[in-house]
Every structure is written in C-alpha cells, then in structure tokens.
Amino acid sequence: MVSRVIPVDPFDLVLFGATGDLAQRKILPGLYHRFEVGQMPEEARIIGTARSDMDSDGFRAVVRNSIKEFAPSYEKDTLDRFLSKVDYVPVDALGDAGWSDLAKALRSDVIRAFYLSVGPGLFSGIAQRLYDAGLATSDSRIVVEKPFGHDLASAKALNEGLRACFQEHQIYRIDHYLGKETVQNLMALRFANSLFEPLWNATHIDHVQITVAETVGVEGRGAYYDQSGAMRDMIQNHLVQLMCLTAMEPPSKFSPNSVRDEKVKVIEALEPVEPKDIARGQYRTEKGDDGYLDHVGDPGSRTESYIALKAHIGNWRWAGVPFYLRTGKRLRGRESEIAVFFRDPPHTIFPNVGPLHGNVLVIRLQPDEGITLRTTIKEPGQGGFRLSDVALDMSFADALGDNAKSPDAYERLIMDVIRGDQTLFMRGDEAEAAWAWVDPIIHGWEERGDKPAKYDQGSSGPEEALMLMHRDGRRWRQIGG
Ligand code: BG6
C-alpha cells in the first residue's frame, strides 16, 4: 500500500488568532507537516494576523518555536523553506486597523481561506469586516472553530452572521473528531463492506456504547470550560457526530451534502432524554491533587466534567436500541471507542455452558486505532465442551505498518478546506439540530437545580453512571485496561 500525497492548489491562508494556543499547537505544525510531505505547494502562503504589533520576522520566530515544540521531528532546511511562506499582518479583528494592509497582502488569483482560530464572539464581526473590505471573494472559504455557539439561539445567530457574508458552501465549521482517521474508517467499515450493514439495525443490535474518556483535567482552560461543561464541550459536537456516523442511513454517495443530509436526519430523530437517563459528575479534590472546583476557581460551580446519558433514535432502524454516550475528564484512561453490542444468540445447542454472549464490535478511535470483534469460540482442550470469548483484533498499526501513521485531524481538515471538500465539516443546520436536542437537556438540570456527583480522579466516573447501565441490566465497557 502506498500513501499518496496530492498537492493542493496554491492558496493564501489567513490565520486569525495566529498567536493563540490552537494555532501554535495544531494549525501551524499541521501546515508544516503538509508542507514537509509535499501537499502544501510552494506557491502557498500563510498570513498570520492578530492584534499584536509585530512584523513578519517576529511572527516567523513565533512559528519557528511552535514547530520546534509541536513538530519536533522537523528538519531545519524544510522549516526555513516553510517559514519563507509565512507573513504577518497586524489586524484589529473588530476595529479598523490593519484591514487594508491585509487586502494588499492577498493575491487575487489563488484560493483564499480565512481561518478564524478565535472565540465564537468574534466570528460574525470578522466575517462582516472581510465582506466590507471586499475580501470575501467567491473563491474564499471561511473556517470556524468550535464551540459553534453556546445554545441554539447563539448558534442560529452565528449562522446568520456568517451567511450574511459567505454562502453555506464557503463555510467550514470544524469538529476535529471528523478529521480523525478512524472516524472516517467507520464510514469505510460500514459502507465498503457488505458484512455489517445487514446486521446494522434493531433486529440484531442490542445497544451501542460511545466513550470518549480523557485523563487530562480542565486545568488552564477553566474559564472556558466552566461555562460549557462536558455536555456542550463534547457531547453536542464530538459524541453526537460519532453517533451520527454510527447510526446514519447509507448516503447515496460520499459527497458533502449526501453525508450531511443523513447525519441531520439522525440528530432530528433523537428523542428527548429523561432525567433518570443522565448522570453528571465532577472530579473531586483529593489529597495533593486539585479537583474540578480548584481548576475553575469557583467552589460553587455545578458544571459537569463528566456526563453519561442514554439516547434513543426514534426511527425504524434504531427503535428501542439505546445509544449510551459518556465522556469525562480525569478518568482512568484515555480511550475513545464505539462499541456495538450485537444481540445474544437466541438459542444454545451447547449443554452446560450457560448463556451465550453476543458479539461486540469495537471501533477504537484512540489510542491504538483499530477494530476488535468479540467472538465466541470453543475453549481449546480435551474433556467437555466449553466456550470462551476471544477478540478478533486488528490494530491498524500492526496491520498497516507505516501506512497506519495518519496525519493529525487538523492536517486533513485544513487540506480539505483548500480542496473545497465539506464532507468532514458540520453544516449549519446540523449544528443547530444538535443544539436543539441538547438545550432542553441542559435546561432540565438547570431548572431542577441538579448538582453533579463527585467522582474520584483516575476512576471510571461517578456511581450514578454505573447505575444508569445496571438499571438496564447492562454494563459499561471498562475504561483503562
Ligand atoms: C476538544 C475539547 O474539542 O476536544 C476538549 O474542547 C477535549 O475539552 C478535546 O479535551 C479532546 O480532543 P482529542 O482529540 O484529544 O480527543
């Protein structure tokens, strides 16, 4: 298998918030990697903008440092060539300063991408300034980071602000989970194989568990996180997207609108979630270890750093099949996976072996990307007929060697922006539909005054989450080994 790199067309990428954390950690190193492998053409240019009053040399020094830190395998000559494509124009995102300089810095005959690596409060204002300055040409794209709003009303306002200046096919709303290799593999698994699709429904599937567990806490991001919580930060976007790709009908083709039409249908079919089907938690302060409340600096905060909930998709394919979603910080392991539990065999012909277990298909997103199928076999050996569950395990790293090394999600997504491919980006109606499902759930616990339960750092989450599953006679998959 040979990995192919097809260079994209020449572009000017204007990076707003160029001195910010995401730009330094992900976007600039990502662009460097694409340059290194030959996907970013020599004629491409990156124009950093921010309010800081520095010149291009000053910005290049900043970029050099970020590449050294976040792309440590860099080569000096390649980095020098990359930096020769980088410029800087100081721009006041909401004031008048800098916009005419930015206009002068842009070429008219190449693709333009405006990447807004800034808070959502600045999206509409920047879009308007770009439009007023005549920079939003028909060949421009605008890229916005998550969070895409705080609730349905703010997401609608953002959509209106962006659409007043750009057309929907020019707007790229990032959900970096869609850029992860195994997330795309989920579509390949479902729609490039004939084995699974006939079984992919309520007749054969008992339930689905989607887990995104993290070991990190919210330290350093407390101010943002405490306004969001796990529901807004992770469920509304990343986990809903994973659920959509797992549950959607086969799109007629792999094109942006065919795929996104099917995802929207899943979100719109989501039923309201009952309070008893939600478990929220906060990691506690422990001896020697600050807890959530210390990290956000508010001893009275009721924001959740963990959430588990049971979702139902009200359509023919999924009637009665629960989708259990859970995500949390400071948990026992860093693990993201989708586990599809097939129904138990209806009848056993084997005497004295107890009930048979259903197969479980696990799609591991990170770490150690791969696919496992829990299968029942005869236990080897003489004397009696016993069964045991074993994993048919495919680690992509083992199966594909170097070809399994996939670019960071951001690299893939930025190149898709330049190529003009929106398949892996959220459409405006999709973001709104997800908020329309999430908003009443949040309002519900706010109105009831629910407090998140405490959980130990390094655990699997609060007891309440275990109970949520136990009540249904099921068990969560273990987090962390
Ligand atoms: C971000 C969230 O979108 O995703 C973070 O804001 C979270 O809170 C992160 O830590 C997880 O991303 P990944 O790629 O590390 O799984």
Q: Cite the residue boundaries of each domain of the chain with CATH code 3.30.360.10.
A: 178-407+427-470
Q: Cite the residue boundaries of each domain of the chain with CATH code 3.40.50.720.
A: 11-145
Q: What are phi and psi of 121, to 5 degrees?
A: -60, -20
Give pLDDT, residue 296. Answer: 94
Ligand 1 atom closest to Cα of 212? 16
Nearest-angstrom CA–CA distance, 357 and 348: 10
Ligand 1 atom closest to Cα of 336? 16
Atom 15 in ligand 1: residue holding the nearest Cα: 214
Give pLDDT, residue 57. Answer: 96
Of 166, 86, 87, give the one whose Cα is nearest residue 130. 166
User: What is the CA(216)–ligand 1 centre distance, in A?
Assistant: 10
Q: Which residues line ligand 1 (CB under 6 A)?
A: 146, 214, 233
Q: What are phi and psi of 263, to 5 degrees?
A: -65, -45
Topology (CATH) of 11-145: Rossmann fold (3.40.50)
Of 250, 126, 184, 111, give the one whose Cα is nearest residue 425. 184
Note whether 308 and 468 are within 8 A (CB). yes
Give pLDDT, residue 403. Answer: 63
User: What is the CA(303)–ligand 1 centre distance, in A?
Assistant: 17
What is the maximum alpha-carbon separation in the chain?
84
Per the CATH hierarchy, to which homologous superfamily does domain 178-407+427-470 belong? Dihydrodipicolinate Reductase; domain 2 (3.30.360.10)
Nearest-angstrom CA–CA distance, 7 and 140: 19
- For the question of residue 204 being annotated catalytic, the response is no
Per-residue pLDDT of the chain (481 residues; tens, 9 = 90+): 555 788 999 999 999 999 999 999 999 999 999 999 999 999 999 999 999 999 999 999 999 999 999 999 999 999 999 999 999 999 998 899 999 999 999 999 999 999 999 988 999 999 999 999 999 998 899 999 988 999 999 999 999 999 999 999 999 999 999 999 888 889 999 999 999 999 999 999 999 999 999 999 998 888 899 999 999 999 999 999 999 999 999 999 999 999 999 999 999 999 999 999 999 999 999 887 899 999 999 999 999 999 999 999 999 999 999 999 999 999 999 999 999 999 999 888 888 787 788 999 999 998 888 899 999 988 888 877 888 888 888 887 777 776 666 778 999 999 999 999 999 999 999 999 999 999 999 999 999 999 999 999 999 999 999 999 999 999 999 998 7
Note whether 325 and 311 are within 8 A (CB). yes
User: What is the CA(386)–ligand 1 centre distance, in A?
Assistant: 43
Could you tell which of 233, 304, 413 is best to mutate to test the pocket of ligand 1, judged by most ligand atoms within 8 Å of the CB?
233
Give pLDDT, residue 402. Answer: 66
Give pLDDT, residue 162. Answer: 97
Ligand 1 atom closest to Cα of 237? 3
Give pLDDT, residue 394. Answer: 81
Note whether 453 and 462 are within 8 A (CB). yes
The catalytically annotated residue of 33, 176, 207, 238 is 238
